[in-house]
Amino acid sequence: MAHALTGARIFTGDDFLDGHAVVIEGARIKAVVPEAETDGMTRRDLGGGLLVPGFIDVQVNGGGGALLNDDPSVDTVRTIATAHRRFGTVGMLPTVITDAPQVIAKAVVSVARAMAEGVPGVLGIHIEGPFLDVARKGAHAARFIRDMEEADADAIAGFAMYCPVMLTLAPNRVAPALVQRLAQAGVLVSLGHSEASFVEARQALDAGARSITHLYNAMSQMTGREPGLVGAALTDAESYVGIIADGHHVHDAALKVAFATKPASRMMLITDAMPTAAGGPDSFELQGRTVTRSNGRLSLPDGTLAGSDLTMDAAVRYCVTMLGMELGSVLRMASLNPACFLRCEHDLGRIAPGHLASLVLLGNDLHVKTTWINGQ
C-alpha cells in the first residue's frame, strides 16, 4: 500500500521543493506531489528537515570496527554497510585494498553473496590494487603490489560477471590494451596510486578508464611542464573523479581548484573510510601495521595517511560549511553523480517516480535523522 512522506523540504536531485510529499509504494517512489494531493493516504509527517536522495560511496574500506581485508565475509560487508547507513550512505562499494589474490577473490565472492542475500546498500565491489605503482603506494603493502598480466585481466573480467566491479590501477603499470579489455568487460576502471605521466594517464582514459581514485592523493601532481595524473584528471571532461573532503587529505584551496575546473557532474564525494569511521575504535591493524586516529586523521606509525575517518554526511557538511559550496551541487556529488558513474542512475540519485525509495532525511544542521533503503 502506498504511503506519503510529508512535512520536509525535498531535494529531488535537480530542484528544491516546498510543500510536497514523496509517495512510496513498495521499494519505489510512486510520485512526488503537492501535500494536498495526499489526503486519504497513510502519511508520515517528518517534522521538518530536508529529504534528499541517499548518499552513494564508491570507496569504503571499513566502518563500525570492521575492515573488509581483515575478514572478507558477508558478515563484514553487512557490518560496514549498516555502520555507514546511520550517516546517510544508502549505497556503497565495499573496498578491498592490495592484498594476496585469495583475499581479493574471497572479498568478491562475499560481496556478490551479500548482494544476492539482499544486504541493504551493497552495490558492488571496489578492488583497489594490487596493480599499482610502488612509488605511490600510500598505505598499501608493497609486498603485494605487482604488474597486471593477461590472466589477471581475465580473472577480474570474470569477477564482473558476479557483481559490479570497480578496479583502481596505475596507468603506468598496466598496458592500455588491458585497460580496454577490462572496460569492455564492464569493469569500472579507475586510475590512482600512480606516478604516471600525463600521456600515460591520457592513454588509459582513451582506452576506457572511467574515473580517478581519490584525486590528488597518491598520484603524480600537476606542474607546468608535466601535468601528471592530476592534470589528466582535471582536463578530461568525461571521467569521474572521487575526492576526499575531510580537511586532512586535500588542502581546501586544492579542493576549490578541482571543483572549479572539473565539470560538476563528474565530481564524486567519497570517504575512503576505515574501521574507525561510523562508530569504530581509535586504532586498528592494517596488514600487520597499527593505524591510529588523532584529531580525525588516520596514519601509520611513519605518518603516512591510511584511509579516512570520514562519513558521507560529514563530507557534505565540509563542502558546504568550510568551502562555501552550494548545497544542491554538493548533494549531487554525494548521490546523483556516483549513481551515474555506477550506471544505476535509473534507480538511485534522484527523488523521482520509478526510482528506488533510498532516501536520507537531514536536519537543518545537515546531520542525518533517518534513512530509507528500498522503502525500508
CB neighbour list of residue 267: distance below 8 Å, 6 or more residues apart: 240, 241, 243, 258, 259, 333, 337
- Least Cα distance to 69 among 285, 213, 242, 281 occurs for 285
Bridge partners, residue 32, by sequence: 22
Angle at which helices 101-116 and 74-85 pack, to 10 degrees?
60
Contact (Cβ atoms closer than 8 angstroms) between residue 263 and residue 237: yes
Write out the three cell numbers for 103. 583475499
Q: Which residue of the set 272, 309, 313, 347 is catalytic?
A: 272
Contact (Cβ atoms closer than 8 angstroms) between residue 95 and residue 128: yes
- Least Cα distance to 315 among 299, 334, 343 occurs for 334
Calpha distance 308→248 (Å, rounded): 9
∠ CA 148-151-154, nearest 5°, is 100
CB neighbour list of residue 90: distance below 8 Å, 6 or more residues apart: 54, 55, 56, 120, 121, 348, 358, 359, 360, 371, 372, 373
272 assigned to active site: yes
Rg (CA), the chain: 20
Write out the three cell numbers for 259. 571543483
Q: Between the CA atoms of 192, 244, 107 and 218, what dihedral angle is there, to the nearest 10 degrees?
A: 30
Write out the three cell numbers for 76. 563484514
Q: So which residues are the catalytic ones?
A: 272
